[in-house]
Structure 1
Amino acid sequence: MEAELIAASALAERLNETGLRIVDASWHAPPTGLDARALHREAHLPGAVFFDIDAVAGPPADLPHMLPTPETFAAAVGALGIAESDVVVVYDQTGIASAACRAWWTFRHFGQARVAVLDGGLPLWRAAGLPLAAGEAAPAPCAREPRAGCFAVWDRAAVLANLERCERLLVDARSRERFAGRGPELWGDPGRIPGSVNLPYQELLDERGCLLPDAVLEALVEAAGVPRDRPFAVTCGSGATACVLAFAFARLGQRDVALYDGSWVDWVRAADTPRARD
């Protein structure tokens, strides 16, 4: 699982490169009231297309941005004119946030070989005074063959089984307050999955929304009690910010990372799942 970062200055030099596709994968949590697609129309990187993680999603429909089927993904990405041979750069309107890494993970899962994340996202691009475009791009569609996913994807049953077998350490990307069950929980009842450890994704980013250097990430992972020699799974509120952890772990060479798709919102919709809180 490759985890490539690209700086705004480096991407700016490659804007006219053949086979480069830029993807705005922004998503904003419901309480913000922000419309990511509307903001994309107002300002986006030149040539960027909009990838909606809630629209390009799979069942069950009552859970947000669940992983799409291979057929749904291939049709949606083909309609955006993205071929398997293209180099894809994904970005977010708020730095390295959940949706950019979720899109990175999804594209890689379904066979896109080269996918990079724009370090610092749109804010750093703006701060550098680099060009922006408005409206929506109208790319020429291309045909894509559906490919089976290549990463481990967990559902609730897999997490329950892991509670018995303890094969993987479960790492939760939510804030410390939400993990402890003390802070407001966007996705239902407060608390955490028993046996999980906490590594808040926000703590992996600097004040600009850029991923911290690999050496700092190593120290944070160690301090969180995540052993490098044990396979683990990642979770969060809905399966999006967990992908920031997956991206960071991949930067550190950890390929065997499962994603609990649905995460806490899926866990708490079942009345009989165990929960822990401080």
Structure 2
Amino acid sequence: MRCWRIGVVRAVTYIETSLSRSVALTPVFSRPHHQDQLKAHKLIRWLLIHSRVPSPDHKIDNWCTMSKRAIQLLTPLAYRGMVSTARADSRIVAVDGSWYMPNNPRDPVAEFKTERLPNSRFFDVDGIKDPQSSYPHMLPSLSDFNAAVSKLGIQKTDKLVIYDKVGNFSSPRVAWTFQTFGHENVFLLNNYPKYLECAYPLEHSAETAESHNSSQYESTEFDKNAVLSFEQVVDIVSTKSKRDQYTILDARSFGRFTGDDPEPRPGLSSGHAPGAKSLPFSKVLDDNNVFLDQSQMIEILKNAGVEPEKPVIVMCGTGVTACILKAAIDSVGFNKGGVQVYDGSWTEYAQRAGSDLIVKGND
């Protein structure tokens, strides 16, 4: 079985490499490039049918070593293969989870209306959250999540492919949110700019951006083990014997971690929690915001102190980019001890923790 898996992975890698070279050497809309795409899709279809590896219509959990709550990366080519081999009764829904920092003038909603993957829905990171919380991106209640996702017309059995326009910035947070509320078939496109390079299909009409019908999405599950509260984090970091049982990763920039650089939010102290280690989210991405290959990722994670069997806590500024680290850890199978996201992250922690629990420097 393992040999078949390796064979398919190598074949898909070869196809992607060949297709990338074709894109680089050939005009985007030229006929040879189109023929390369067709050949690639046909070969992926053949591999999915004739190999012993299940097709995307089967649950990945049955043959993947990752846990049920692992974020699963999907290349643009594999996504197109998934779409082309989907059964008539199997829905694949793309979800645009684009979000930008407050100081960025880009408008994700306007961008969604003019360019998106076919059959996309827009997930509003700033809107689908806990409205009662004073912190930016706390998870919504189960009822609020169900209501918001129902408006998007998403069904519980849909296979979701999450993406964002940056590449891998806010989409991991959206993927993690769906998984935390029990949605099983969640994939993360790696990534949107790479999809554009391949000149795959897009939608541009503003009229069809919200033309879907609503649904009756009903999740009854909330994975409490996926998320940590402020009280839980403080209980862990306050005692050395407890925090040593975890690898605590901070995805913010190194300067904010050490306290040398200010936080973007006025009046908020920079620094880090006791026992935390700095791993800026940019370290696990290349210059095009594509996740690094497995060997590079493993080396970076090991250097940060991540061990396959040891529980990991990830945090950042507001709980968004911490999920990039979770996706990286999941993608290499270093999640056997579990990966938990501190939802409030540094914005909550720095406001509520005592000064004795805010560390400066790089201890």
TM-score interval, normalised by the smaller of the two chains = over 0.9
Deviation at residue 162 of structure 1 after TM alignment: 0.2
The match for 1:144 is: 217
| Aligned CA-pair RMSD | 1.7
* Matched-pair contact (CA < 8 Å) for 2:247–2:305: no
Pairing 1:1-278 to 2, within 5 Å after superposition: 1-15=69-83, 17=86, 18-97=90-169, 99-121=170-192, 123-134=193-204, 135=206, 136-150=209-223, 151-163=225-237, 164=239, 165-166=242-243, 167-187=245-265, 188-253=268-333, 254-255=335-336, 256-270=338-352, 272-273=354-355, 274-278=357-361
Deviation at residue 262 of structure 1 after TM alignment: 1.1
Change in Cα spacing, 1:169 to 1:154, as seen in structure 2 (3 Å) is same
Q: Which runs of 5+ in 1 are unaligned?
A: none
SS state at 2:274 partner = coil
SS state at 2:188 partner = strand
The structure with more helix, counted as a fraction of residues:
2
What is the alpha-carbon distance in structure 2 between the residues aligned to residue 149 and residue 12 of structure 1?
31
Larger radius of gyration: 2
Give the stretch that moved more between structures: 20-29 or 74-83. Answer: 74-83
Change in Cα spacing, 1:46 to 1:203, as seen in structure 2 (3 Å) is same
What is the alpha-carbon distance in structure 2 between the residues aligned to residue 183 and residue 95 of structure 1?
26
Deviation at residue 228 of structure 1 after TM alignment: 2.9
SS state at 1:186 partner = coil
Extract structure 1 runs of 4+ deviating beyond 6 A.
Answer: none
Deviation at residue 89 of structure 1 after TM alignment: 0.1
Deviation at residue 86 of structure 1 after TM alignment: 0.8
* Matched-pair contact (CA < 8 Å) for 1:22–1:45: yes
TM-score normalised by structure 2 residue count: 0.72
Corresponding residue pairs, total? 276
What is the alpha-carbon distance in structure 1 between the residues aligned to residue 131 and residue 202 of structure 2?
35
